[in-house]
Amino acid sequence: MRVLNLHLIPVTGLNRQDSYQAIVAFITNADNHGVCIRLKKNEIKRPRFTKDLEDLLHILEVAPPQTDLVFDYEIIDNSCPSFAELCDCLPNLTHWRTFSVISGAFPKDLIGFEPGQHLHSRLDWQTWFRQINSKQPISRLPTYGDYTIQHPIFSEPPKRAHFSASIRYTSNKDWVIMRGEGVFKDNGPGFAQWPANAQLLCERNEFCRSDCNHRLKIEPKSPF
């Protein structure tokens, strides 16, 4: 990364091993590009959360202005703390270099979808958009992040998986899921399903064509 003149920012968290933290500290001090700390729901509920975060900054030899703070909701649902509640739990909120929240709402797999065309709500995006435009005061508006068309909790796929020829397409409010049949199904259409589903997708209203002019407008309430 250094040879290519790319600015690498290492990411760490509160539960990493000492050896990992030592490597992150070495990279951060050598490159002087700062560090990113990823926090999770169970961590901010700890009685020692603020102290643990301060201790990590001390180990890494950085201060909040050199730190990108990312809060990872992982799977977003109604039990997740609101942005206002989250901000109340985070120390030095206005001092962090950047502040972001990330979450995911895409299902673990497509087993629950029959072959055909489906809409699945982008709850992660809709939750962020709704909260930053709500009347509830938020100390600092977080930047948006997501897991795109993947489930937030990674698991290794099975070997020789009998996967379906499916398309996952992102629109403003929903994902369009074009669920096909298993590609290894005997006497099935196999891999030819992909161009066929792509053609069907192009005929949907959600498809953003080259002449598409609609844009989603966001008007932040404050510079934070």
Per-residue pLDDT of the chain in tens (224 residues, 90 and over written 9) = 889 988 889 999 999 999 999 999 999 999 999 999 999 999 998 999 999 999 999 999 999 999 999 999 999 987 889 999 999 999 999 999 999 999 999 999 999 999 999 999 999 999 999 999 998 899 999 999 999 999 999 888 778 777 889 999 999 999 999 999 988 888 889 999 999 999 999 999 999 987 665 555 555 554 34
Domain boundaries, the chain: 63-202
Q: What is the pLDDT of residue 85?
A: 94
Q: How far apart are CA 222 and CA 91, in angstroms?
A: 19
Sign of CA dihedral 54, 56, 61, 67: negative
Tell me the one-letter amino acid at 170: T
Q: How far apart are CA 91 and CA 53, in angstroms?
A: 9
Task: Show the tokens assigned to 149.
Answer: 């068309």
Q: Are 104 and 158 in contact (CB under 8 A)?
A: no
Q: What is the pLDDT of residue 222?
A: 46
**Residue 86 C-beta-side C-alpha neighbours within 13 Å:** 26
Least Cα distance to 123 among 135, 131, 115, 111 occurs for 131
3-state secondary structure of 88: helix
Q: What is the pLDDT of residue 157?
A: 79
Query: Phi/psi class of residue 74: alpha, beta or left (left: φ > 0; alpha: ψ in -120 to 50)?
Result: left
C-alpha distances in angstroms, 169 versus 49, 110, 174, 178, 197?
A: 38, 13, 9, 8, 11
Task: Outline where DSSP puts E strands in 49-163.
Answer: 67-75, 98-104, 116-121, 143-146
Q: How far apart are CA 136 and CA 224, in angstroms?
A: 15
Task: Show the tokens assigned to 5.
Answer: 């003149």
Q: What is the pTM of this model?
A: 0.85
